[in-house]
Structures are given as structure tokens and as C-alpha cells.
């Protein structure tokens, strides 16, 4: 397949707009940037296009997809708004990295919901994503553009490496600003429930509606209500361990472990800028300033991808707690490490 690559300015061109619309309406796929991560998109109501996503990603069929839309006024065509607080959440956080899980109407096919009678919906804030939704004129489901279980894509080079020749169109939008998937909030009940943490935090949501509940460990569920809940996610190829504790103790422990590994093993470390030079390995990824949690969040997947590109066998990561986004950052790292954590 010949993948056509466009830049954001190309979306003003009539022929490019026609190409994008034809691809989506005819059951084919497009990769495009959002403010969270890059997504691989298909027209929600086209079964061929949606099934292509599952096939291309190697995604389990019971893992539901999120429906992306361009306008709040279109939401009522596809879902029921049961709770009085929902509209306030939409008006406050949309466009933006918040997905609301709502009861679906019959028009929404179960092939995007994993067989559930609910569906996740969001309006992205990335201008390219909004342009594509407006060009298509239809809702688009767009899970992260990565092989299922692997780190999500936040740079165009990531999706180019994974999907060139596998989709019809890619749009190069540079680096994703947020860098982590959206908060997923179940709003079908009296109290909203966070199914997947994101940069729209519990505290932020409770400023609009309270109380907000947090779901139990989603890996125990048989049927996931949102992406990223049931299956191993975000994992690099190398073995990842999170090391927690006082920073000096963490540094000493990791350096001791580095000495014990076989000389032929590549050992990498994911560290913040204040301690990046303290480790006795050539493979250290500076994830960012510890006082800039948004920077750290935006670099989580880039760190994991970099370790893959360097063919790192064993990875150690510091724990990035005590920040505004600690819940979402650590959620992704714990899942990437398959909950392999050492406290020193």
C-alpha cells in the first residue's frame, strides 16, 4: 500500500480534503495527531474500516474504541445523556483530553464498543484532529496508533516506523502536546467514575461535580469498559522495573544492579533531569524537569520508545510521584512494567 503523507497545511487543499473523506467513507484508515497521542482512525459506522484497525494494531476485539466528534451539538445523535452533571463536564473540558462513557443509541454499532451498551466519546482539541473530523463529516474512532500492548505514539516518526504501508493516509502533526491518553470517565451513574486516569484529574472533575469515584484495579475485569483497562499496555520490548524510594537510595540501587548485569546486556535508565548524570550506564533518557510534571507526562512514551530503538534489554525507571500528574504518569509506567516495582 502506498501511504500518502500530509502536513497540517495540506488540509486546506481541496484534493487532500477529498482524499481524506473518501478514505474514511470507503472503509480505509488514516493516522492523525491529537493532543494526547497519535490515533489510527476509521469511520465509526463503517465495519470494514473499524475491523481494519483491530487487525492492523493486533487489538483484542473486546477492547472498546473511543468515538471522536467535532461538535457537542452532534453528541445527542449517538448517545443518551442520563445525568445532569454531564453537560457541565462537556462545556468545561471539551475540546480536550476527557472521554465520557455514555449509554449508546442503536445507531452506534457494537463493533466499536466491545459488545457493550456504552461508548466512550470525546472532542479532541488538536486543530488537525478537528479539521479531519470536520472534513469527514462523520464520527471517527481512533485508538492510539501503536501495535497493541506497545508504547503509544506521540511523535510522527513513531507512527511512520510502525504503520507506513499499512494505512492509506498519515498526517504529520509533530509532537503530541499532552503525550498521554485521555482521562476516561464513566458518566452513566449518579456519581462519575474514573476508568482511566489522565491529565484531567479527579480534583479538576470534582470542581464541576462531586464526588468522583475511581474504579477498582481494571485488570480484574473480564470485560473492559474503556481502552487500556484489561490488557497489558504500553510495554517496551526490554524488561522494565520501577524503583521507588528516596532519590539517593534509588540511584544507588540502580547503579548496583547495573554492575550485576551481564556485560552483553544493554541497561537503560529513565530519569529526571536532576539525576540524569548519576547513573553508570551510557543509556539514560532524560524524561524532564521534576518540577515540570506536564513535561514528564509528555515524554513517558518517548522514553519507552527510545529504549526500544536502542534495543535496551533491561530498563530501570525512577518513580515520578508527588506531581500534579502523578496518577496518570505512574498508571502508564506501572502498566508498562507489568507492575514490577521495587521499593528501596
Instruction: Tell which residue, 91, 153, 136, has the closest CA to residue 298.
Output: 153
Q: Which three cell numbers stand for residue 154?
A: 506521540
Beta strands in 123-238 (DSSP E): 140-141, 169-171, 183-186, 193-196, 213-214
The pLDDT score that the predictor gives to residue 220 is: 41
Mean pLDDT of 114-130: 96
pLDDT at 232: 54
Question: Cα 313–317–320 angle (5° rounding)?
Answer: 160
Distance (Å, whole) CA 179 – CA 199: 10
Query: What is the per-residue pLDDT for 59?
Result: 85
Domain with CATH 3.40.50.11030 in the chain: 239-343
Its pTM stands at: 0.92
pLDDT digits (tens, 9 = 90+) for 168-180: 999 999 999 999 9
Reading the block at residue 98, the C-alpha cell is 476527557
Location of C-alpha cell 483497562: 229
What CATH number is given for 4-220 in this structure? Answer: 3.90.870.10
Distance, in Å, from the CA atom of 102 to the CA atom of 79, rounded to the nearest integer, reads: 6
Task: Look at residue 174 in the predicted model and tell me its pLDDT.
Answer: 95
Per the DSSP assignment, residues forming a β-bridge with 268 are 283, 315
Per-residue pLDDT at 61 exceeds 80: no
SS3 (DSSP) at 120:
strand
Q: Is residue 228's pLDDT more than 60? A: no
Q: Where residue 225 falls among pLDDT bands split at 50, 70, 90? A: low
Q: What is the mean pLDDT of residues 159-170?
A: 95
Identify the CATH number of the domain defined by range 239-343. 3.40.50.11030
- Chain region(s) in the chain for CATH 3.90.870.10: 4-220
Amino acid at each position: 500500500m502506498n501511504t500518502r503523507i500530509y502536513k497540517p497545511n495540506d488540509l486546506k487543499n481541496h484534493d487532500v480534503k477529498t482524499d481524506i473523506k473518501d478514505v474514511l467513507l470507503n472503509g480505509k484508515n488514516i493516522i492523525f495527531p491529537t493532543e494526547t497521542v497519535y490515533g489510527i482512525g476509521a469511520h465509526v459506522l463503517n465495519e470494514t474500516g473499524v475491523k481494519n484497525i483491530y487487525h492492523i494494531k493486533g487489538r483484542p476485539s473486546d477492547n472498546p474504541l473511543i468515538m471522536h466528534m467535532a461538535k457537542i451539538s452532534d453528541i445527542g445523535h449517538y448517545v443518551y445523556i442520563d445525568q445532569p452533571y454531564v453537560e457541565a463536564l462537556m462545556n468545561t473540558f471539551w475540546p480536550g483530553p476527557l472521554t465520557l462513557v455514555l449509554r449508546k443509541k442503536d445507531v452506534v454499532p457494537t463493533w466499536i464498543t466491545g459488545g457493550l451498551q456504552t461508548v466512550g466519546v470525546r472532542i479532541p482539541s488538536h486543530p488537525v484532529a478537528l479539521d479531519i473530523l470536520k472534513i469527514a463529516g462523520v464520527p471517527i474512532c481512533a485508538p492510539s496508533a501503536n501495535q497493541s500492548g506497545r508504547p503509544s505514539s506521540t511523535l510522527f516518526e513513531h507512527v511512520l516506523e510502525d504503520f507506513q504501508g499499512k494505512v492509506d493516509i498519515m498526517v504529520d502533526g509533530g509532537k503530541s502536546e499532552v503525550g498521554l491518553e485521555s482521562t476516561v470517565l464513566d458518566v452513566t451513574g449518579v456519581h462519575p467514575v474514573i476508568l482511566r486516569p489522565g491529565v484531567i484529574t479527579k480534583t479538576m472533575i470534582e470542581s464541576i461535580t462531586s464526588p468522583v469515584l475511581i474504579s477498582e484495579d481494571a485488570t480484574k475485569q473480564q470485560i473492559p469498559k474503556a481502552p487500556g483497562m484489561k490488557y497489558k499496555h504500553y510495554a517496551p520490548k526490554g524488561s522494565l522495573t520501577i524503583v521507588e524510594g528516596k532519590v539517593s537510595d534509588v540511584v544507588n540501587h540502580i547503579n548496583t544492579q547495573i554492575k550485576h548485569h551481564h556485560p552483553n546486556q544493554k541497561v537503560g535508565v529513565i530519569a529526571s533531569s536532576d539525576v540524569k548524570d548519576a547513573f553508570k550506564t551510557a543509556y539514560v533518557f532524560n524524561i524532564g524537569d521534576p518540577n515540570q510534571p506536564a513535561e514528564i507526562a509528555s515524554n513517558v512514551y518517548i522514553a519507552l520508545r527510545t529504549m526500544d530503538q536502542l534495543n535496551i534489554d533491561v530498563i530501570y525507571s525512577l518513580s515520578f510521584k508527588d506531581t500534579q500528574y502523578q496518577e496518570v504518569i505512574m498508571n502508564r509506567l506501572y502498566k508498562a512494567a507489568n507492575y514490577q516495582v521495587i521499593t528501596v
